[in-house]
Structure 1
Amino acid sequence: MCGIAGLWTPSGYNQDTPRHAEAMADQLEHRGPDGRGFHFDAANGLAIAHTRLSIIGLNAGEQPLHGRSDDGTGGIAATVNGEFYDYKRLRGLLRTDGFQFSTKSDSEIALKLYAKHGLDFVEHLRGEFAFALFDEDRQRLVLVRDRFGIRPLFVHHGPRGIVWGSEIKALLAHPDVPRDVCPKAQLHQMMQVMVPGMTLYEGIQAVKPGTMLIIEKAGDGVAVREERYWDANFPREGEHDVKSDEDHIEAVRAALVESITFRLEADVPVACYLSGGIDSCSILGMAAAIQQSPVKAFTISFDDARYDEAHIATEMAQMAGADQDILKLKAEDLYGSNFEDAIRYSERTFYNTLGVAKMLMSKHVREVGYKVVITGEGSDELFGGYAQFKADLFLHDPEYAATPAAQEMRKRNALFSGSVLAEETISHPAFEDVMGFTPSWIQPWMLTLERVKPLLSEEFKAKLGDYDPIAAIAHSLDPAMLEGRHVLDKVQYSWIKTMLEGQILNWGGDRVDMANSLESRPAFLDHHVAELAMRIPPQVRVRGGVEKWVVREAMKHVLPHVLYEREKFAFMAPPAHTDAKKTAEIDKLIARWLSPQRLAAKGLFDPAKLGAAIADYRASDDHAQNTRMDIILNHAIGLHAVEELLT
């Protein structure tokens, strides 16, 4: 794991270019505190930078990487952020093809695979990664992001060339990158859900997951072509794998063991994150068996029993013989400067302070002496784990539609009404057109948008015009990936393309982990595991209303019985309104960032209307509505703070 940055300006290289590249690298030191490297090529107008977090090849993995003239790769240079798994096998095969290696790093295989396969080389890469590769002979730059967007990568395409970096703040360190904020992006962040590729800034885009940008010299500038090399391609109805239950279970078990085995490989100790869910518990159980020694397990504990899963995590740790470390977080830990730091590193707003909690956990893990953790993200997305997914299955699948399953599930999840579950049904014609229904996962955010709209200033509404953020999200989905698919597959696909990358892997993943130089490895998001999961029939992923049924069965011998039988419980921090101490802490942030003067200067909200809404919130005891207002306040604070925090 590292930070990468660079610029390719074929006619714009000058004496200031190295200084600009160094300034960009300065903004990524937290991603790579173990070293930095640069490659300056004035003849080609290229400058690339790398900040290193050493995980594999501790003393022989410096970057940028350069090809070798003795194997035909001499004109290739690259910087890589992330990990390539199964690299030893690939390295052996490439060596028999005549390729030579200069380091022991897994990253070097990218150069050789590119030389052998051309742009098809990405099909041979397994892992979580974002990288830049420059081909001098073809005057081509290739920017690649992994299949799910686990690792971040951002670009600015200007008239003189292209600037890229692992984080937005690195791009903003270059004077040619404009800082114009996008009103549409601000609206999306108020309602949580972004359009894929969108960032807060007009001139900066995120490279989409499973995508590479192919940039070639064109006159004095460059031409950019986007190519999607992978997508979450669920089979059409009736085309899923036909196997016995036992065969499905064994296939999941084998795929996960292989994925975890790869992710345990490092030249530094590897730990696990451990919540009370079956995903992280399954990973811990398998890691302990594979490693044949106690595994360090890190657990977050909240000061509100309704949201705390530490007791279940402890039962799992004891069963696995793990060395558990519990970080107990209080109200004051989740707000104040920690809240602001989480915004700075996430480079976007968040609806819940879980992102703050995970940032504090990554800090603690590093202080204890670990650089790498294996995590459970991706299981819910691939195996149908979220309550929102079950809600749509219960509503639209004939097997459940005539039963009370949906209402019963909502009663069991009443605590999360107003956040991950909508307290009322709402639809949108764009989703009805694209998917045939409005998925339950977006309905809470549609209700949040409806609550936000009356609070906006007239000035901001004028900037938006008739822009419809819900339609923009719906139309960002590829109809070819939805046509003829089962309802569960449609819901999972729509979430994977939006919320997984924009939320789970952002302020719930890489950005808050790498804030403290911690590499997180989500084992379920190995694309071999994902492709297997997508081929499993929906009724095997969710069986009799039991989410992730096939994962439960595959892992039942490593899970405590209470967890094997437990329904999915949303992992989130207690919202601000749930106790007086948290309310007092968010009030301090409101006073700092949402003062009438700041509101008027920013121009997003009508100060009087937002002030009245805050007063109503403070007087209300409606849990769902207060949860929604907590969300709005978190986003509003973030939007008023983020630009200042990124400077």
Structure 2
Amino acid sequence: MCGIAGVFQQQPNAAIEAQTLVNMAAIMHHRGPDGFGYDRMEDCGVGFSHARLSIIDLDEDRARQPFRSANDRLLLAHNGEFYDFKRIRADLTAQGARFRTKSDSEIVLHLFERVGLEATLKELRGEFAFALFDRDEDALYLVRDRFGIKPLYYTETDNGLVFGSELKVLFAHPDVKREFSTEGLLHQLIQVMVPGSTAFEGIHQVAPGHVVKVTRKQGKLAIETSKYWDVKFPLAHEYPGDEVDETPYIEGVRKHLLEAVQHRLTADVPVGCYLSGGIDSCAILGLSAASTQTSVKAFTIGFDSSDYDETPIAQEMAEATGADHHIMRLKADDLYDHFVKTIWHTERTIYNTLGVAKYLMSQQVHDVNYKVVLTGEGSDELFAGYPAFRKDMFLHGLDHLPDSERKAWQELLEKNNKLFKGAMLAREEFVSPAFNAKMGFTPSCVQPWLSCADVALPLIAAERRADVEDYDPGSAIAATLDEEMLKGRHPLDRAQYVWIKTMLEGQILTWGGDRVDMANSMEARPAFLDHHLAEYAFTVPPHLRIKGNKEKYVLREAMKGLLPETLYKREKFAFMAPPAHTDPKKWQAVLKLAEQFLSEEPVTQAGLLDYEMVQATFAKHEDETVPIDEKVQLDAVINHMLGVQILHHHFVQTDVPELAAKRARELGWHA
């Protein structure tokens, strides 16, 4: 729910313009259309604002944020959900706490005053990002949930620190610079980002499972980052052998997933489910239906390509659970028609138009008056569902297999992974020396993106290209990974750790999750990313995650009674929209966008790309002799080129502070 924003000045007596705080809330009105609030502690140089999507405690006045503690010590702005808050609230009340709202957010104030931040974070369960100012300590805390489900950005200005739920919120502040960094540009063109970074100079993300603490020292800000949680697999030798009894693990996964789903059904508004043809969303729907007394609303995206459409299996699951099933069928040209608007919300490039499809689906969810859906994101990360994980398991985790079994594995992998070569899998093996040094091999999940660096570098404008000619994207990413979480771990665990730290947070939870869902005031709740479930899943032996080349084996067995037989036996299919090369109408839609954003004038004006290389890329894409897997890669590169140009249009060329002020006037939001 919601969006947050704020300012922390270098000087405690520095004024904060109230209307600027309101404007920052207004530009993310889509995150919180049900009301706004702002508050300043004038003598402390701090001010917060908040745009509210009401899901728990629908009383607009009572639950209006930011919240102050009763003694005026603390100021809080919170985005997201804390589950199990009723138990915590009751326990605090028994200790003498007095709550002024029914909101889950308020528990932070009371916990912090009693036990401090470290102990508070251990109690918090859910998806959240919040800002907390402590007057006694004269400190600002920026906190993000364990997996990075909810976004939180910050930057330093000449006068202080500005933070917010989205980049555009920061850019709405007139002190914040709006310019690409060249390293950020390169990472946008290759899809994978350095954790904690953005496309823009000086703009950072609070990392998942981290706290950023900001204090004032001698008239300047001191920024400290600390980690409170991480993805921690057992050491490889701590797993039981291949003969271990599977039953306790199967029952444990079922128990923890059911608990996670039931917590996420908590709301004062109706809760639906996203439903694809995968076991993840089908399991969520099945458990939701079993946990409620009414028919669950299920939402499915259908594509006009049989290679990518999953609606038949989704329909079978919906019928089995008695769900009220809503199917949105998309045609080829639907996706690029909404590409520009989607980039406004994702604030980063996207390699596949699935992000657009998710944006359109959240629009339909909103149109039928739903604010909350449960989703299946996170299952593949916990239970090794992606093609890249099977590949790494085969290459690095099955050395003990005889040659005949390894050959059978390899043949099956080549057959199953054909559809994803050039996108989710590299066209050819790519080795990153930095990754090899850090973890012993280059994970298959990052290979397709790191291998694009040689393609992306010539696309960068000559005057910028020199800045990154000696820059190694793989080294920059590997440097952010905690070696202690990789050392001594099974190869599959190492591969999953890297994916969780890179693609899960930087892609799936961003342009495949929060940003395109909240674009239409709709909150997605990924039950698999409940940290209690995740911590249990980390203990499941690798051979029970992938067994006999069957991915997510332990989850399949745990959900066997819920799933249609065809789905139980089905192999993993990565949910993607059909690439542009697969449909002439879709390619024509790409060319139409390219005429607007990738013609000579806009490319030259932006100064980001090399126009001649842009033309050469399109010419290569239209060359009929180019192999299909290379066309898949070129589709992604072209999407990224469009993306950086659109980002420039939205956030550099456009006067964002004026746009935010205009939005506030249109909404009637004023200080």
Compute the TM-score of the two structures, normalised by the length of structure 1: 0.97
Selected match of 1:468 from 449, 459, 472? 472
Contact map agreement 1:160 1:220 (CA 8 A) in 2: no
AA matched with 1:325: H
Q: 1:93, CA displacement in angstroms?
A: 1.0
Deviating more after overlay: 517-526 vs 450-459: 450-459
Q: 1:253, CA displacement in angstroms?
A: 0.4
How far apart are the structure 2 equivalents of 1:171 and 1:461? 27
Selected match of 2:502 from 498, 504, 508? 498
The answer to whether the aligner puts 1:558 opposite 2:579 as a matched pair is: no
Which secondary structure state, in structure 2, belongs to the residue aligned with residue 341 of structure 1? helix
Q: 1:79, CA displacement in angstroms?
A: 0.8
Structure 1 residues 331, 276: closer, same or farther in 2, change over 3 A? same
- After superposition, residues 204-603 of structure 1 pair within 5 angstroms as 204-240=203-239, 244-336=245-337, 338-397=338-397, 398-400=399-401, 402=403, 403-404=406-407, 405-603=409-607
AA matched with 2:325: Q
Q: 1:425, CA displacement in angstroms?
A: 1.1
How far apart are the structure 2 equivalents of 1:67 and 1:427? 53
Deviations 1:387-442 (A, max 9, x none): 10110001112245841213421222211111111221121111110110111111
- After superposition, residues 139-178 of structure 1 pair within 5 angstroms as 139-178=138-177
Structure 1 residues 593, 400: closer, same or farther in 2, change over 3 A? farther
AA matched with 1:322: A
What is the RMSD of the two structures over their aligned residues, measured on CA atoms? 1.4
Compute the TM-score of the two structures, normalised by the length of structure 2: 0.94
Deviations 1:604-644 (A, max 9, x none): 33322321221121122521111111101100001011122
Match of 2:658 in 1: none
AA matched with 1:119: L
How far apart are the structure 1 equivalents of 2:16 and 2:272? 42
Which secondary structure state, in structure 2, belongs to the residue aligned with residue 520 of structure 1? strand
AA matched with 2:639: N
Structure 1 residues 108, 573: closer, same or farther in 2, change over 3 A? same
AA matched with 1:605: L
Match of 1:114 in 2: 112
Q: 1:219, CA displacement in angstroms?
A: 2.6
Contact map agreement 1:160 1:222 (CA 8 A) in 2: no
How far apart are the structure 2 equivalents of 1:383 and 1:225? 34
Deviating more after overlay: 249-258 vs 211-220: 211-220
Contact map agreement 1:556 1:564 (CA 8 A) in 2: yes
AA matched with 1:368: V
Structure 1 residues 606, 160: closer, same or farther in 2, change over 3 A? closer
Contact map agreement 2:12 2:44 (CA 8 A) in 1: no
Q: 1:599, CA displacement in angstroms?
A: 2.2
Q: 1:2, CA displacement in angstroms?
A: 0.4
The answer to whether the aligner puts 1:84 opposite 2:89 as a matched pair is: no
Contact map agreement 2:435 2:478 (CA 8 A) in 1: yes
How far apart are the structure 1 equivalents of 2:633 and 2:510? 21
Deviations 1:488-527 (A, max 9, x none): 0000001101110000000000000000000000000000
Q: 1:241, CA displacement in angstroms?
A: 6.7
Deviations 1:149-177 (A, max 9, x none): 00000001234321110001011111111
**Structure 2 unaligned residues grouped into runs of 5+:** 655-671
AA matched with 2:650: L
Selected match of 1:625 from 621, 626, 630? 630
AA matched with 2:137: R
How far apart are the structure 2 equivalents of 1:400 and 1:23? 61
Structure 1 residues 586, 423: closer, same or farther in 2, change over 3 A? same
Match of 2:668 in 1: none
Deviating more after overlay: 29-38 vs 472-481: 472-481
Q: 1:456, CA displacement in angstroms?
A: 3.5
How many pairs does the alignment contain? 642
Percentage of matched positions with identical amino acids: 50
- After superposition, residues 187-206 of structure 1 pair within 5 angstroms as 187-206=186-205
Structure 1 residues 400, 560: closer, same or farther in 2, change over 3 A? farther
Deviating more after overlay: 236-245 vs 444-453: 236-245
Deviations 1:82-123 (A, max 9, x none): 000000011111112211111000010011111122121111
AA matched with 2:335: L
Which secondary structure state, in structure 1, belongs to the residue aligned with residue 614 of structure 2? helix
Which secondary structure state, in structure 2, belongs to the residue aligned with residue 82 of structure 1? strand
How far apart are the structure 1 equivalents of 2:615 and 2:95? 68
How far apart are the structure 1 equivalents of 2:13 and 2:163? 15
Which secondary structure state, in structure 1, belongs to the residue aligned with residue 77 of structure 2? strand
How far apart are the structure 2 equivalents of 1:617 and 1:122? 50
Which secondary structure state, in structure 1, belongs to the residue aligned with residue 178 of structure 2? coil
Structure 1 residues 375, 215: closer, same or farther in 2, change over 3 A? same
Structure 1 residues 184, 401: closer, same or farther in 2, change over 3 A? farther
Contact map agreement 1:144 1:211 (CA 8 A) in 2: yes
Contact map agreement 1:153 1:207 (CA 8 A) in 2: yes
Which secondary structure state, in structure 2, belongs to the residue aligned with residue 619 of structure 1? coil
Contact map agreement 1:10 1:46 (CA 8 A) in 2: no
How far apart are the structure 2 equivalents of 1:129 and 1:457? 38
How far apart are the structure 2 equivalents of 1:520 and 1:613? 37
AA matched with 1:643: H
How far apart are the structure 2 equivalents of 1:8 and 1:455? 38
How far apart are the structure 1 equivalents of 2:100 and 2:323? 38
